A and B are shown apart, each in its own frame.
Chain A
Amino acid sequence: MNGNDLREALRATMTATRTPPPMESAAAVASGRRAVRRRTWTGAGATAALVAAVLVAGPLIAGDRSGDPVQAGAPPQPTPPASTPGVTTTPSGAETKPSWPLDGDGQPQEDATARSGERYEKGRQLLDELLNVVPEGYTKPEGTARDGIPLREHQAAVEAHDSWGYLASTAVSDGKGTGRLLAEVHTPGNGLSTEPCKLAAEFWGLGGDCHVVRVGGARVGVASASGSDQRIDQWAAYRHPDGIVVYVAQSRTATNDDPGLAPLKKLPLNATDLAALTVDPRFHLN
């Protein structure tokens, strides 16, 4: 079973499965109102306690508990329903089934990820190189975090236009907190931007606040997280003249959802070091 088979099987399963009656909108609205009322009451209760302490007053008015806070501006409009996965919109497997490159065993890959062979080894090489550049004073923990994400990982996956992407990441610990270093390399034909900051913005679609750092004659985009997406704190992006793109990134957290690992207080690398690594020939993998 590959991804396409699973897609078809899920459609077939859900089409043939008896679904319960639709859920009641009124019940959902009532539940939402109760939640708002609890929240309003909690806030109002705290305020009332403070006022009572100061005034030692009689009955207190705890504010509007109708569950309908005053709305600023126009009421939000629901987005149009997104396309629901459905059988009718799914092309047949025969039309869409991709043909994967050969894996190390001479058989076609099960999916985009190489599980053995030359490309797989390139991913492993990237991890080795990444481990070599972990700054002094940091250990490189192994194993798996509680959220099931490995603390050390490498991967090679075929992407669009027969370009390959290699990814490696490792947790790094200073003894008090655990963060992460990552490297991502895209071989020529990747379709990524040629402009340093646009290139940086394309990393995981993070956008970020970017500036250009010069490393010798190379112009490297260095970006920091902005907005609500805080998966990565800082990353650098460089496109080699031959089209190979190298990203090196760091974050204060080792994985994104594991509450058991305290984050680093300080990022392991400064912006200049991060930029220099993208130009480093050790990460120039094709």
Chain B
Amino acid sequence: MSDRDGAFAEYFAARSGAMRGTAYLLCGDWHRAEDLVQAAFTKLYVNWNRVGRHDALDPYVRKVLIRTFIDDGRRGWWRRERLQEPPVEAPAAEHSADDRVDLVRALAAVPPRQRAVLVLRYWEDMSVDDVAAALHCSPGTVKSQAARGLDALRSLISHPVTAE
């Protein structure tokens, strides 16, 4: 195993779980979450020498993951190719399971960019400026998208969406 492989594998083992959690909240599906993580880390591997030198691995992977998620949504490949799969998996524990399903399902119904802002701001706890840099938009847009996303979420939770 080369030096790159070793360092990459170590980083993957340390961070892929957290990235997969973020991806799951973005897309509401563990299979697709793993696809997104795989795509992001593959790109990292290809650009390892360039990115690794700048101590910017997490922001880089997160940015690729988010962009892949948004671009896939724009192309609609997921909707076409995985039409038969349920959009959300049921949580393990039984108590309060409905609430959790509702939250993930409601989140999945929020427009992708707003959803990305909500997940980065409130799950990843990233600052407005960092979210803006990750999404390549203005901090003001992050704030407005967060406000709209929360509005949408409130509405969806008070009027639950029906799974297709």
Q: Count the B residues whose beta carbon is within 8 Å of the partner chain — how many?
A: 81
Closest residue of B by beta carbon distance from A205: B129
Decide: B7 and A231 in contact? CB cutoff 8 A: no
Please tell me the size bucket of the interface on A: 35 or more
Q: Which of B94-127 contact A (CB under 8 A)?
A: 96-97, 99-100, 103-104, 111-114, 118-119, 121-125
Residues of A within 8 A of B151 (CB): 110
Please report A residues at the B interface, Cβ cutoff 8 Å: 1-3, 6-7, 9-10, 12-14, 16-20, 22-23, 25-29, 31-33, 35-36, 39, 68-69, 71-73, 75-79, 81-82, 84-85, 110-113, 115, 147-149, 153, 155, 157, 167, 169, 182, 184, 204-205, 229, 231-232, 255-257
Number of interchain pairs (Cβ within 8 Å): 208
Q: Which of B117-145 contact A (CB under 8 A)?
A: 118-119, 121-125, 129, 132-133, 135-141, 143-144
Residues of A within 8 A of B15 (CB): 81-82
Decide: B125 and A205 in contact? CB cutoff 8 A: no
Decide: A16 and B153 in contact? CB cutoff 8 A: no
How far apart sit A33 and B9, CA to CA, in the bound complex (Å)?
12
- Closest CB in chain A relative to B28 CB, distance in Å: 11
Residues of B within 8 A of A73 (CB): 53
- B11 on the interface (CB 8 Å rule)? yes
Decide: B58 and A231 in contact? CB cutoff 8 A: no
- Closest CB in chain B relative to A118 CB, distance in Å: 18
Decide: B42 and A32 in contact? CB cutoff 8 A: yes
Question: B11: which of A17, A20, A69, A78 is its contact (CB, 8 Å)?
Answer: A78
- Closest CB in chain B relative to A68 CB, distance in Å: 5
- Closest CB in chain A relative to B37 CB, distance in Å: 7
Decide: B57 and A79 in contact? CB cutoff 8 A: yes
Decide: A17 and B143 in contact? CB cutoff 8 A: no
How far apart sit A76 and B3, CA to CA, in the bound complex (Å)?
9
Q: A16-B91, A16-B100, A79-B57 are in contact. Are A29 and B122 (CB under 8 A)?
A: no
Residues of A within 8 A of B3 (CB): 71, 75
Q: B68-87 interface mask toward A, CB cutoff 8 Å, 1 = contact, 0 = none?
A: 00100000000000000000
A-B pairs with beta carbons under 8 Å apart, 8 shown: A1-B150, A6-B122, A6-B150, A28-B9, A32-B8, A111-B147, A111-B150, A204-B138
How far apart sit A71 and B47, CA to CA, in the bound complex (Å)?
12
- Closest CB in chain A relative to B10 CB, distance in Å: 6
Residues of B within 8 A of A17 (CB): 24, 91-92, 100, 104
